Amino acid sequence: MSIKIMVVDEHKILREGLATLIAKQPNMEIVGEAADGREALDLVEKNTPDLILMDITMPNLNGIEATRKIKSKRPEIEIIALSLHSDRRFVLGMIGAGASGYLIKQCTFDELVLAINTVMEGKKYLSPEISNILVEEYVRKDSQEKAIIDSKLTPREREILQLLAEGKNTKEIASNLSISVKTVETHRRHIKRKLKANSVAELTKIAIKEGLTSL
């Protein structure tokens, strides 16, 4: 039986290139493509993939939050991060959200195939470029260090913070999340209070620093 794979990346040329290569594998098939995390959430229920290749820094909903949401609803779906970033924050964020693998985009296609097959066997796969120190630090949990956003904000507040940092206004956020403008305003007040920020500019700096979104 073929492994049903969905590719999530904001760059269309990369999605299509990966899809073409993956479709040539005898034990794999592409069942969907998405340009951001929110689109991925919509497609998951329709296409029921076995595995998702997930970019991290995407508009509307980043890969870490999308992974967290997908794994909470469909824990059987395997997720492999495929990112340009090897930064500790992104690695720990994705693994903590439930990803079973983490690949750097500079990897070869052979390594990607190996990672997919490894993860589908119930194992973890990390690119050699990802330092063992980071893995050990996460597994031990000795430092008890948590990102400010993860420790202080609810999942809904993290979603709203990302959209605020990306320049969305209150009405746009309300429409995007299918909630009322009043609810968005309440969440924004709570976010500012929890993060001790006085402006959207300060919230944007925090969101970028913590890897919730990018410039």
pLDDT digits (tens, 9 = 90+) for 70-116: 999 999 999 999 998 888 788 888 999 999 999 999 999 999 999 99
- pLDDT of 85 reads 83
- pLDDT of 139 reads 63
Q: Are residues 22 and 93 in the same domain?
A: yes
What is residue 156's three-state secondary structure?
helix
- At 171, which CATH number? 1.10.10.10
CA atoms within 13 A on the CB side of 190: 16
Q: Are residues 76 and 179 in the same domain?
A: no
- pLDDT of 26 reads 94
- pLDDT of 143 reads 44
- pLDDT of 207 reads 87
**197 lies in some domain:** yes
State residue 4 phi and psi, 5-degree precision: -85, 120
**Can you give the residue range of the structural domain that contains 66?**
3-140
Q: Summarize pLDDT for 46-80 with one digit per residue, the tens.
A: 999 999 999 999 999 999 999 999 999 999 999 99
- pLDDT of 147 reads 59
Alpha-carbon distances, residue 76 vs 4, 7, 30, 117, 174 (angstroms): 13, 17, 18, 15, 31
**215 lies in some domain:** no
**214 lies in some domain:** no
- Looking at the structure of the chain, the number of domains it has is 2
- pLDDT of 214 reads 74
Q: Are residues 125 and 155 in the same domain?
A: no
pLDDT level of residue 134 (50, 70, 90 thresholds): low
Q: Are residues 39 and 22 in the same domain?
A: yes
Rounded to whole angstroms, the Cα distance separating 8 from 35 reads 6
Q: Are residues 61 and 162 in the same domain?
A: no
- 142-149 CB contacts, 8 Å cutoff, 24+ apart: 147/89, 147/93, 147/210, 147/211, 148/195, 148/206, 148/210, 149/195, 149/206, 149/207, 149/210, 149/212
Rounded to whole angstroms, the Cα distance separating 206 from 159 reads 14
Contact predicate 5/30, CB 8 Å: yes
Rounded to whole angstroms, the Cα distance separating 136 from 127 reads 14
Q: Quick one: tokens of 23?
A: 């479709």
**144, pLDDT greater than 60:** no
Q: Summarize pLDDT for 167-207 with one digit per residue, the tens.
A: 999 999 999 999 999 999 999 999 999 999 999 999 999 88
pTM: 0.77
- pLDDT of 142 reads 43
- pLDDT of 145 reads 43
Domain edge (last residue) among 112, 140, 168: 140
- At 17, which CATH number? 3.40.50.2300
Selection from 16, 17, 11, 62 nearest residue 40 by Cα:
62
pLDDT level of residue 212 (50, 70, 90 thresholds): confident
Domain edge (last residue) among 99, 115, 140: 140
**79 lies in some domain:** yes
- pLDDT of 63 reads 97
Q: Are residues 32 and 60 in the same domain?
A: yes
**17 lies in some domain:** yes
Q: Are residues 85 and 102 in the same domain?
A: yes
Which residues touch 133 (CB under 8 Å, ≥6 apart)?
A: none
Q: Are residues 114 and 152 in the same domain?
A: no
Burial of 72 (0-12, 13-18, 19+ CB in 10 A): exposed
**24 lies in some domain:** yes
Rounded to whole angstroms, the Cα distance separating 115 from 104 reads 11
**90 lies in some domain:** yes
The neighbour count for residue 144, using CB atoms within 10 Å, is 5
**148, pLDDT greater than 80:** no
